[in-house]
Structure 1
Amino acid sequence: MSIPTTEILIFDTSEAFRKDSSILRPALDIVSKADGVQMPVYVGVQIENPATGYMFLNWDSREHHQAAMAAPSYANLREILKSAVTSPGKMYHVIFNDHPIALKQPVTEVLLVTLKDPSHRAEVYDIFTKFTELSKKMLVFGPTLEDENVIALLGGWESVEAHQTMVANPEPKAAIERLFTLVNKDHLFHTALTTRE
């Protein structure tokens, strides 16, 4: 199976969504019928600040997602989402270096960075590859299709503490320090995702 195009949506959550994320079920019923979507959808709130929510959908291609957004049912979808989403949010599309298994872990790290200089891309990818090895392959990364200088990384962890323990070790700590001389950190938070079929 080919690696999907992963849609990442980061949004401000409503109080109703924070109390019960299943209010998205009618919207996800519409999405599940779209051509090219790969269910399940992963949904969660940020651990550090539950006012921020996440939705991850895997598509056969970005074009499938664009076709779904152009479909007549998309107007209904937008209306239904108003009960859960209180801002337009930010949307990214990424073809990761491997299948995004981090979404299936108890805690998912969401990191978005922007290269300070595109000439550092290979070194940043080398650092991320090292992190992948240290995380027992529970980490994936790739440039966003919207801007190749914005790179998304998803890490799968048993807990936030497990992530913090790993990055506190000397080797990853030195790599992280080097990384943040090469990139601007745009977003680094954690979420506990649930799946919606």
Structure 2
Amino acid sequence: MSTIPTTEIIIFETSEEFRKDASILRPAFDMVSKSDGIRKPIYSGTQIENPTTGYLFLNWDSLAHHQAVMASPSYGSLLETLKPAFGGPSKMHHVIFNDHPIALEQPVTEVLLITLKDPSHRAEVFDILGKISDQTKKMIVFGPTLEDENTIIVVGGWESVEVDVWIF
């Protein structure tokens, strides 16, 4: 199996139950944590400005490791354990970030989806994001989604919301 670390990001509409008690994801986390190629910990949270939007971040040794889990007979059971947390649609992305996503270890994580209107600017956008990533000592990481190279996900980690506002 190829071993390029890949981050799975699920952006989902949260259920009322999840907003009251995020620990309802524990059974799903317990199942996934036994998978070959998963890098612990698994991160989850809600958007501060809009708690009806939730995020799951799972770091894998490779995309192939995650695909193996999705192809396994137990995947249906895993999806069932996630249902109580989901209050509506979800979208899964896979990203190979420019560096290890240490931003996820911070108390506040910012997620930004950029859609390139003109793909000819990709190199310029990557250059700018690379400089920002370097200036923040990799507290901001980025990468195109494997599903659509014109969608770039940027993840920043901050000590507080106020620090994020100050930087930007």
- 1:70-104 superposed Cα distances (whole Å, 9 cap, x missing partner): 11111111111111112240110001010000000
1:3–1:103 CA distance, 2 compared to 1 (3 A): farther
Give the match for residue 64 of structure 2. 63
Give the match for residue 147 of structure 2. 146
Aligned residue runs from structure 1 range 12-91, under 5 A: 12-91=13-92
Give the match for residue 195 of structure 1. none
Q: Is the 8 A contact 1:3 1:98 kept in 2?
A: no
Post-superposition shift, 1:136? 3.0
Is residue 8 of structure 1 aligned with residue 9 of structure 2? yes
- 1:152-190 superposed Cα distances (whole Å, 9 cap, x missing partner): 1101111122111111xxxxxxxxxxxxxxxxxxxxxxx
SS in 2 for 1:97: coil
Post-superposition shift, 1:130? 2.3
Q: Which amino acid is the alignment partner of residue 136 of structure 1?
A: K
Q: How high is the TM-score relative to the length of structure 2?
A: 0.94
- Structure 1 unaligned spans of 5+: 168-197
Post-superposition shift, 1:50? 0.6
SS in 2 for 1:82: helix
Q: Is the 8 A contact 1:107 1:159 kept in 2?
A: yes
- 1:32-88 superposed Cα distances (whole Å, 9 cap, x missing partner): 111111111001011111111100000111111111011111111111111111224
1:100–1:156 CA distance, 2 compared to 1 (3 A): same
SS in 2 for 1:89: strand
- Structure 2 unaligned spans of 5+: none
Q: How high is the TM-score relative to the length of structure 1?
A: 0.81
Point out 4+ residue stretches in structure 1 off by more than 3 angstroms: none
Q: Superposition RMSD on alpha carbons, in Å?
A: 1.3
Tell me the distance in 1 between the aligned counterparts of 2:15 and 2:136. Answer: 33
Give the match for residue 132 of structure 2. 131
Q: Which amino acid is the alignment partner of residue 145 of structure 2?
A: T
Q: Larger relative CO (CA 8 A, sep 6+): 1 or 2? A: 1
Tell me the distance in 1 between the aligned counterparts of 2:4 and 2:62. Answer: 9
Tell me the distance in 2 between the aligned counterparts of 1:25 and 1:153. Answer: 26
